[in-house]
């Protein structure tokens, strides 16, 4: 489920895969595998993307449909 969310968040922010890969400091192919669900995204990358997109990690993982972080 998370791979759909990270793809949707990226496109919602009008970013290319290469943009997000550079933000994370990884190769575009590695990031593409995260989005395609071929490779699991590491926790550090998930946290960094959640911060970048201003959403909760629970939202990114598909646990909730509420984008807001706890306490907001």
Confidence (pLDDT) at 66: 81
Q: State the pLDDT at residue 70.
A: 60
Is residue 67 situated within a structural domain?
no
pLDDT of 20 reads 98
Predicted pLDDT at 71: 58
- Residue 71, domain member (yes or no): no
User: Which CATH number fits the domain that encloses residue 49?
Assistant: 1.10.260.40
- Ranges under pLDDT 70 in the chain: 69-72
Give the model's pLDDT for residue 72.
Answer: 57
Q: Count the neighbouring beta carbons within 10 Å of the beta carbon of residue 32.
A: 16
> What pLDDT does residue 67 have?
80
Residues whose CB is less than 8 angstroms from the CB of residue 25 and which lie 6 or more positions away in sequence, other chains included = none
| Rounded Cα gap, residues 20 and 18, in angstroms | 6
Answer yes or no: is 52 within a domain.
yes
pTM of the full predicted structure? 0.88
Range of the domain at 29: 2-59
Total number of domains constituting the chain: 1
């Amino acid at each position: 489920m998370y791979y759909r969310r990270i793809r949707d968040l990226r496109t919602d922010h009008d970013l290319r895969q290469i943009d997000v890969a550079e933000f994370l400091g990884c190769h575009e192919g590695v990031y593409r595998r995260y989005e395609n669900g071929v490779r699991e995204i590491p926790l550090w990358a998930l946290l960094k993307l959640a911060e970048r997109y201003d959403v909760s990690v629970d939202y990114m993982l598909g646990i909730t449909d509420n984008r807001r972080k706890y306490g907001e």
